[in-house]
Amino acid sequence: MSKSIGFYCPHCGKRMHVTSRKRPSPLFNELIVSCQVSECLASFAATLEMVRPIHNSLNPNTEVEIGLPASKRQWEKELEHHLSSLETLPTIDEHQKTYIEGFISALFHSSTIDLTRAQTYRNRLQQIKLI
């Protein structure tokens, strides 16, 4: 039996059903969601991901502790957030620039982002004028 979940069909707006589920990591689910309306029958691949812990388990699974691709992506989001807020400013000071540079290097050295991405972020930083 498929389960109805809180995803709505983008075509007809009715609740979709999970018809298939894969779990490649403890934090990550890949779902196939299908519309059951006989005049529609759209289906999609969807992902369901736990992105960061709010409260740690009293009995943590070690596999979850080590396999944290989700938290790495969280760091990159953080960098993106800092960078885009600086981009809205006409000029930034040396301190702000050094901070973001350090952030980019840290993400690169921890293999959270690859060289191409690091370079893209550095280029964006270069575009912002210093005071």
Nearest by Cα to 95 from 106, 107, 86? 86
Helix (H) or strand (E) holding 84: helix 69-87
Q: Kindly state whether residue 22 participates in binding Zn ion, applying the rule CB under 5 A.
A: no
Least distance to Zn ion from the beta carbon of 46, Å? 14
Residues of the chain by 3-state class (helix, strand, coil), percent to 5: 40, 25, 30
Of the candidates 27, 31, 33, 35, which one interacts with Zn ion according to CB under 5 A?
35
Distance CA 30, CA 18 (A): 10
Q: Kindly state whether residue 11 participates in binding Zn ion, applying the rule CB under 5 A.
A: yes
Nearest by Cα to 9 from 36, 38, 31? 36
Q: Kindly state whether residue 48 participates in binding Zn ion, applying the rule CB under 5 A.
A: no
* Residue whose CB is less far from Zn ion, 40 or 70: 40
Q: Check residue 2 and report its DSSP letter.
A: -
* Residue whose CB is less far from Zn ion, 41 or 89: 41
Least distance to Zn ion from the beta carbon of 7, Å? 11
* Residue whose CB is less far from Zn ion, 12 or 51: 12
Q: Kindly state whether residue 9 participates in binding Zn ion, applying the rule CB under 5 A.
A: yes
Of the candidates 5, 18, 40, 118, which one interacts with Zn ion according to CB under 5 A?
40
